[in-house]
Structure 1
Amino acid sequence: MKITSLVTGGAGFIGSHVVRYLLDKGHKVVVLDDLSGGVQSNIDLRAIICIGSITDTTLVQEIFKKYAFTYVYHLAAYAAEGLSHFIRRFNYENNVIGSINLINAAVNHEIKCFVFTSSIAVYGTNTLPLKESQYPKPEDPYGIAKYAVEMDLINAKKMFGLNSIIFRPHNVYGIYQNIGDNYRNVVGIFMNQILKNKPLTIFGDGSQTRAFTYIDDVAPYIANATDIPDAYNQIFNVGDDTVYSVKELAMAVSKAMDAKPNIQTLDKRDEVTHAYADHTRFETIFHPDTYTPLVKGLTEMARWVKENGAHSSKKFKHIEITKNLPPSWK
């Protein structure tokens, strides 16, 4: 009998890749996505598509009743970390309440394992490299929301026996990414700006450091996690180890896009200055072969971006707080 898996956010960037890997593994895949960040063309035609939101309790209950899911892969989120300060209610409704709808359904329908993509945003400013053993100190509503869901999953295991696997990916980039989003995914933002002959905008002096991770070093491990018993009820940092400043990234993206570097600095925004993680636990359980070097990953993404052209950038229409909002977001 075929394994049936639900992938929320399956029209989005990471989610669409996870869908493909699951289909290739022989799963029957149902995608639930409201298309607020993803696009339907990202979804593999072999999947069953359900257009709707995880915040729709009735819809969530209906699809769990209709399909006998073995696994849930929860990747749906509004992941604009910096913007989350100014859309607090929207952030918690989508990233917490929507997640709880899924967890409730997973418990009631006795799902074998709930795979959740959290974020290293849960750590906030912490001792580097960031480790799963550290006490999370999220510094923005997005990180707070992700940590709240992590804690709820731990409680659901204790109370109801719901197994989960939690991944904390960071700065993932690659094909199928929404490069038209002004508020997240800096690699995509830079490439879209280059296609539009605009300067690459950097908040502050660009000394912020991150480790940037190619999609192929994340998505297959998320898809395969349910096959690894030792991964159950654990939390994993997942991503690359090599650290770059945002300014260094801008130079690397320009080279990959065959463009002359043109950088414009904006006022510094409230964000964690340095964030990169330790992956010892992930490597011990998943045994990754190699990581994709930044130059190679950017080259692959740049090829896809050039073939598909620039994307229109949309302003977020539901800003709840304008105080201290960066001028470029107004």
Structure 2
Amino acid sequence: MNWIDNYVRPKINSLFSRREVPENLWAKCDECGTMLFHREVKDNLRVCTNCGHHMYIPPRERLEALFDGGAYTEVPVPQPIADPLQFRDQKRYPERLKAAQKATSEAEAMIVAEGEILRTPALVAVQDFGFMAGSMGMQVGNAMIAAAERAVERRKPLVVFTAAGGARMQEGILSLMQMPRTTVAVEMMAEAGVPYVVVLTHPTTGGVTASYAMLGDVHIAEPGALICFAGPRVIEQTIRETLPEGFQRAEYLRDHGMIDRVTPRAEQKAEIATILRMLTGAGPVVHGDLPKPDAALAVAAPAPQG
């Protein structure tokens, strides 16, 4: 061993050694495969800057982007029985719940929040596809009812962002019972004259589509979102026919009168605020950070001279 082996070679190796790159530094677009810097993706509301594909966005990120200043108050939701059927497949149901809670840092698949959207008071419920595929269990039913009751009590419109793979099989018939429960909640708002707007995100399927997802006063969808009861592959296998291009996607449903709008994520805040103000009979949207002027303190402009 000499000074080259003892000093020079280790020094060179340290200079040219490969640095470890954090796993969460880059995100890959599911649609076009482009590698995107994670900060760029987050700043763009989880929309691919190359192809415009709308990726999964955590519910709290969505709420922060939607409400003014990212400020909102979370509405408490009654928690159901943890494992009513003592269900077990490859794992026990409580184990699956704990795994989903650890992965998402959320207690369940739907969050209800209250705040202002461009100075427009509103309640917002967001379904989390990352939590057991957003499956509709008893907690989702409780969340929808809690949101509807609060909306009626406070006379505030309700906006629901849907994302689900269907009913939660671990809760069996109790999961299916959430379809009529949530339908009654929506009917309660309709009878009270409280606006109800639905934003359909990718994917919205199964019992959610068959209940509260398609009962809104206005239906908005994100670009490319799959919206259906049974998926296209199941339908093709059943009818043994090739389905049209883009079948059951947001744009196809809009063109065939099933939904009202297809709106990119970056434009949803302004559009939702405008729709809510139209439905409630309020004035136009107030833009900017300054509060809306108080009409009682307004000073009349002087009459023109001459």
TM-score norm. by structure 1 comes to 0.33
Larger Rg: 2
Q: Give the structure, 1 or 2, with the largest relative contact order (CA under 8 Å, sep 6 or more).
A: 1
